[in-house]
Amino acid sequence: MAVRTGRCAPRREIRAYSRAAARLTTVGTSDEKTSRSRHMGELKLGYKASAEQFGPRELVEIAVLAEEHGLESATVSDHFQPWRHKGGHAPFSLAWMAAVGERTKRIQLGTSVLTPTFRYNPAVIAQAFATMGLLYPQRVMLGVGSGEALNEIATGYTGEWPEFKERFGRLREAVDLMRALWTGERTDFDGQYYKTVGASIYDVPKGGIPVYIAAGGPLVARYAGRAGDGFICTSGKGMDLYTEKLMPAVAEGAAKAGRTVDDIDRMIEIKLSYDTDPELALENTRFWAPLSLTAEQKHSITDPIEMEAAADALPIEQIAKRWIVASDPDQAVEQIKPYIDAGLNHLVFHAPGQDQKRFLELFERDLAPRLRALG
C-alpha cells in the first residue's frame, strides 16, 4: 500500500502512512496527545444510544437527558437494519450525532460502532467526521469495527460475507486512509481495497479525529493498543476475556507503539438492566434477545425478521445472561466493579428498557455516586 501526501501533490511516494507506520500513529499534535492522555485514566460514565430500539427524535431527546443527568459521553450504534423487525429502528447515526451536538454543550459524541469499509467509503466517513469535529470541537470520536452481515448485505454487498482476515484488513486500511486525509494534504492512496487520487479534505480540525477500535479478541485488541486513540469492548462475556486476553493485548500493542494503556481511552459497553422493580429489570432484557444468539447466527443471518424469530425462541434466562440484571444498587455496582479493576476506565451503559428516562433518573440517583467513588 502506497500513500502520497502533500500540499503540492509531489510525485514521490511517502511511507508515513504505510501499514507499519500508520499503526503507530494516532491523531493530534504532541501537546494535544499529552493533554488527552492526562484524562484517559480517569473514570468516565457514558450512555449508549440504541439506534436499533428508538426512532431519531426520541433518541436525540434521550441523549440530551443523558447530559442533564451528568453523563460524559453518548455513543450511538450505526445500523442500516435493526436486530429485530417488530419495534425495531435504524436512524442514520451521523445525522443523529449532529442533532445531539446542536442540543448539548459538553457531552462526547461518537459511534459505537461504525464499519467504514463496506457500505461506506472511508474517505467520505473521514470528511463527515472532520466536519463534525469542527462543529463540536473536542467532542467527537469515531468508533470503528469490522462489520456485520446484517447491515452490509442489504445494501448491496455481493458474494459470500468475507472472512475475518479480509474484514480486519479492510478496517486497518480504512483507518490508514482516514488519518492520511485528516492531515489536510492532497492524498493519493493506493491500497488493496481503497484508492484516492489527489483527494483533499479542506475542513479538518487540528489534530484530526480520535479513532476508537472495537475488539472482541486479542488480535484486534492488540491493534487497538498500537493504533487506536481508544479501545471498545462489550460486557457479559466472562471476566477472563477481559483480564487474560483483551486488556493484556491492548497493553502489548500500546507498548509496541511506545506508550502505555493510560494513553488510550478504554471503553466498555456495559449491558445493565437496573430497576428497583426486579421483575421489570429482568423483563426489560427481552427486547435485546438477539444479543444472546451465537456468533455464527449473528454473522450468518442477514434479515431482521429471521433474526427476530431466532431470538424470540430463546428463554428469558438465557437472554438475561448477557446483562447485569439488578434491583439493588450495591449489587449492581458489585458486578460492575470487576470491569474497572480490569483496567477499563470509560463505562458506557446500555439499558434495555423502553423507559430510558426512568433508567437515567435511577442511574444518577443510585449508581453514579457509588461508581464515581470507585474512580
As a whole number of angstroms, the distance between CA 153 and CA 155 comes to 5
Is 146 marked within a binding site?
yes
Is 328 marked within a binding site?
no
As a whole number of angstroms, the distance between CA 361 and CA 375 comes to 21
Does 186 map to a domain?
yes
Is 93 marked within a binding site?
no
**Quick one: pLDDT at residue 295?**
84
Does 34 map to a domain?
yes
Q: In the 8-state DSSP scheme, what is residue 363?
A: I
Is 292 marked within a binding site?
no
Crossing angle, helix 247-256 and helix 218-227, to 10 degrees?
40
The domain in which residue 191 lies consists of 2-272+329-374
As a whole number of angstroms, the distance between CA 184 and CA 205 comes to 9
**Quick one: pLDDT at residue 6?**
67
Crossing angle, helix 218-227 and helix 164-181, to 10 degrees?
10
Query: Nine-digit cell at 364?
Result: 444518577
Contact 194, 123 (CB under 8 A): yes
Does 92 map to a domain?
yes
Residue 82 maps to which CATH number?
Answer: 3.20.20.30
Which residues are known catalytic residues?
A: 79, 148
Residuewise pLDDT in 10s, the chain (375 residues): 777 776 544 332 333 333 333 433 444 544 555 444 445 679 999 999 999 999 999 999 999 999 999 999 999 999 999 999 999 999 999 999 999 999 999 999 999 999 999 999 999 999 999 999 999 999 999 999 999 999 999 999 988 999 999 999 999 999 999 999 999 999 999 999 999 999 999 999 999 999 999 999 999 999 999 999 999 999 999 999 999 999 999 999 999 999 999 999 999 999 999 999 999 999 999 999 999 999 888 878 999 999 999 999 999 999 999 999 999 999 999 999 999 999 999 999 999 999 999 999 999 999 999 999 998
Does 301 map to a domain?
no
**Residue entry with cell 454543550:** 105
- The count of C-alpha atoms lying within 13 angstroms of the C-alpha of 289, restricted to the half-sphere facing its C-beta, is 21
Does 251 map to a domain?
yes
Is 365 marked within a binding site?
no
Is 106 marked within a binding site?
no
As a whole number of angstroms, the distance between CA 340 and CA 355 comes to 27
**Quick one: pLDDT at residue 45?**
99
Query: Nine-digit cell at 328?
Result: 439493588
Does 216 map to a domain?
yes
Does 165 map to a domain?
yes
Tell me the residue type at 20.
Answer: A
Is 28 marked within a binding site?
no
Contact 21, 179 (CB under 8 A): no
pTM assigned to the model: 0.91
Measured in whole angstroms, the distance separating CA 114 from the mean position of its chain's CA atoms is 7
Contacts of 40 (CB under 8 A, 6+ apart): 262, 263, 264, 265, 266, 345
As a whole number of angstroms, the distance between CA 213 and CA 250 comes to 11
Is 151 marked within a binding site?
yes
Is 234 marked within a binding site?
yes
**Residue entry with cell 483480564:** 243
Based on the structure, what is the number of domains in the chain?
Answer: 1
- C-alpha distances (whole Å) from 125 to each of 128, 136, 142 are 5, 16, 9
Is 345 marked within a binding site?
no
Does 296 map to a domain?
no
